[in-house]
Structure 1
Amino acid sequence: MFKRVLVLGHISGIRIQIHVSWVFILLLLLTAMSTGFHYQFPEWTLPMVVGTAAVTALLFFVSILAHELGHSVVAIRRGVPVESITLFIFGGLAQMGGDTERADDEFWIAIAGPAVSVGLALIFGGLALVTAGWYEPVSVVMGWLAFINLVVAIFNLIPGFPLDGGRVFRALVWKFTGDPRRAVDAAVRGGRMVAYLLFGFGFWNLLVIGNLIGGVWIMLIAWFLLTMAEGQGRMYEMRERLVDVQARDLADPEPPFVSPDASIQEWIDQGVLPGGCRSFLVGEPERVQGLVTLSDSRKVPREQWVTTRIADIMTPADSLSHVGPDTQAEDILRLMSEHNLNQIPVLEESGRAIGWIDRQKLLRTIEIHMEVKR
């Protein structure tokens, strides 16, 4: 299966990964900077041009990562877990393991990223001055990075979701009104306004100036901001409406089971085809031994289905993601999305299965809960 993200490693338990869209922005940066450096410094050799562009792009990548680590470090210190940092076409995103519960936490977590970018701008600016009379490509790289980090900081402080400034704005409204719902609405409206202004600016570049690439790029950013702002609003609404919904409320109490000693052929003939279910828990409710899916059976040649046991192809219980009866609906949805799960068992502390949650049923149930509570 094609992977949308590439995991680079972990920093203090935080998974660092790159979305495939980052490759596009990296190639775009390399092309644009190589072209720009070639025309700005015609005396440079081709290796100098390409090498300077490559180093600049790499350090820009590191700068965005540092920006997101700024958010993450402050979040962890304030008790908000951070699961991953993903770099993608429009920048980076730190995936928190939960939402902030206080306005002060929201403010300091949000402001940390731009603060890191401002700090980097000052550091790179100082290095540009120090290296000015030494080796020109180095001072050029430092100067460019000082400028772009300052731009990143200023742009992110615009007061609208999903930008850091939108979260700062939300924190301030939350602090002064005491109403987190009102704060979210204000930040979402700010995000919409920013997106609409960027759409207008993009059209102006496209139609008046004739800047095709620039205009389209600005409108893509505007579309992304608008989509994210609306998504933030819907996510908060979902959290608010599902705060009392737990796994025990969503679980199907009678998931299909199959014996680990059954053959694949027996399972297909007696379980899958009559019932139309693609996945089964292996074992029995008192002792779940694993999970088997149709995809697992496809790894075995059909002529071997009669002699191959379910236990030989199942995912063992100790490798299965599972939730407890009291797990919140939001956490279940996040877990299933992050690990691309179609089913997840609901287990008591003793290990007894009280049911499982199917992704499609979960989404339908959440939709119904939200419709009923409107």
Structure 2
Amino acid sequence: MGGQLHLGRLFGVPIVAGFSWLLWIFVALYLMAGFFPDEIAPTDGRKFVLAAIVVVIYVLALVGHEFGHALMARVFGIETERVELWALGGLAHLSRGARNPKEEFFVAAAGPAVTLLVTIGAGMVVGAVDGFNLDALWQIGTLQYSGSTAVSAVAGIILFFEGLALIFNLLPALPLDGGRIARSIVWKVTGEPARGTAFAAQAGKVLAVLLVGVALWLVADTGSTFNGLMALFLAYFIWQNAQAAAIPTERRRSVASLVPASAVMDREPVWVATTDTAADAEAHAFATRDLAWAAVLDPEGRLRGILPAERVREELAAGRPATPAIDLVPSGARPATREDVLLHKLLKDKDLERLGALPVVDSSGVVVGVVSREAARQALVVEGGLRT
């Protein structure tokens, strides 16, 4: 972490910032001072004091946002190596990426949840001091709100910037938190994290192109060169990060086209012999394991069917422990997959989705392992940090 300022620790997590962040602080102070009218701040000194209060609150809100990610990640056993602050936001460097859509959704959403709370708090202050109506909301949204007191003026500026940050950050485009949330939803629906990443990364590129258009409009129609340059810089940042997210997705798809089920299967599956009884099956397969089913194998190790734990326990409850386990196997197809089936095809298997796992057989039909849906999915997940 050379070339960075060490700002301290919170909940055991280091907080750092690049030296360019200091430059941003001074620029922000200068710009914020211009938002306070003479009625509220009659002297330059008072304007800069109020500007400093705005910047401090903004930074604290930003830190809170990043620690929303960090503390939610900790709930799922993901540690945060450091929180990094920079001019356009922050970055929680996580020890690993999400392993399932639930982790991805809640860790991504925790940051905006903190920003929402800050936004609501600022709005409540404005409402308590000056009253809150549509006219006041319009003035805040157009940065024309001056407030009747220094407190409401500061709260109005915080409400504008935090509200804007919240809306922008929830856009369904990587690297924004909204992109992570969108990724988790697509991942949940399709069962493929790569599709979620591809969708959110493509949305990020679209957003970057739109921001270039905004930048050109700001310069050409409003004459706001500074704001235009900021929009252009933001577009570049989003495009670069969306592109970086898309590259691992393409690599992952390439890997998925090469990795067979045998690479991620459990080579010592739980099984039941065709000669076992219901009591044997319970003792050997289900009593000490949380399994929904076990494979039934003949003496040569070939699959004879899938034995549901529920059927075994129904038989035991009925007082028939000596019932042959093979008689409890549902008739019909014997769900299984070949050891050379590739992961991207395996994840489309309806039996895998229904059962959660499948026996893996070799070319002669002998069971050589069991592959779970979770293991196949995790093999395709890219790990990384969470950027706001």
Paired residue type of 1:225: I
Q: Choose which of 161, 178, 191 in structure 2 pairs with 1:148.
A: 161
1:32-79 Cα offsets, whole Å, 9 max, x none, are 111222x46476222211100011111101011111111111111012
Q: CA deviation at 1:25?
A: 2.0
1:93-151 Cα offsets, whole Å, 9 max, x none, are 11110011000110111111111111111112212333459981122112211221111
User: What are structure 2's unaligned runs of at least 5 residues?
Assistant: 132-146, 259-388
TM-score of the aligned structures, taking structure 1 as reference length: 0.60
1:164-214 Cα offsets, whole Å, 9 max, x none, are 010011000000000111111111101000000001111111123222111
In 2, Cα distance between equivalents of 1:32 and 1:183: 39
In 1, Cα distance between equivalents of 2:205 and 2:19: 27
CA contact (8 A) 2:40 2:150 kept: no
Q: CA deviation at 1:88?
A: 0.4
In 2, Cα distance between equivalents of 1:191 and 1:158: 9
Alignment of 1:119-158 (within 5 A): 119-132=117-130, 136-158=149-171
In 1, Cα distance between equivalents of 2:70 and 2:9: 13
In 2, Cα distance between equivalents of 1:5 and 1:132: 42
In 2, Cα distance between equivalents of 1:89 and 1:229: 19
In 2, Cα distance between equivalents of 1:241 and 1:14: 36
Partner of 1:214: 227
After superposition, the Cα gap between the structure-2 partners of 1:99 and 1:242, relative to the gap in structure 1 and judged at 3 Å, is: farther
In 2, Cα distance between equivalents of 1:139 and 1:82: 36
Partner of 1:159: 172
Paired residue type of 1:190: A
CA contact (8 A) 1:173 1:183 kept: yes
Which one scores higher on RCO, CA 8 angstroms, separation ≥ 6?
A: 2
Partner of 1:175: 188
* Identical-residue share of aligned pairs (%): 30
CA contact (8 A) 1:48 1:137 kept: no
In 1, Cα distance between equivalents of 2:216 and 2:148: 41
Partner of 1:52: 50
Paired residue type of 2:116: V
Partner of 1:5: 4
User: What are structure 1's unaligned runs of at least 5 residues?
Assistant: 245-374
Partner of 1:185: 198
Q: Choose which of 198, 202, 205 in structure 1 pairs with 2:211.
A: 198
Alignment of 1:201-280 (within 5 A): 201-236=214-249
CA contact (8 A) 1:132 1:139 kept: yes
In 1, Cα distance between equivalents of 2:99 and 2:250: 15
CA contact (8 A) 1:114 1:154 kept: no
Q: Which moved more, 1:183-192 or 1:235-244?
A: 235-244
After superposition, the Cα gap between the structure-2 partners of 1:242 and 1:93, relative to the gap in structure 1 and judged at 3 Å, is: farther
Count residues in correspondence: 242
Alignment of 1:70-85 (within 5 A): 70-85=68-83
In 1, Cα distance between equivalents of 2:76 and 2:224: 45
1:191-243 Cα offsets, whole Å, 9 max, x none, are 00000000111111112322211111100000011011111223455678789
In 2, Cα distance between equivalents of 1:193 and 1:216: 18
Partner of 1:86: 84
Structure 1 residue matching 2:90: 3-state secondary structure: strand
Structure 1 residue matching 2:35: 3-state secondary structure: helix
After superposition, the Cα gap between the structure-2 partners of 1:238 and 1:27, relative to the gap in structure 1 and judged at 3 Å, is: farther
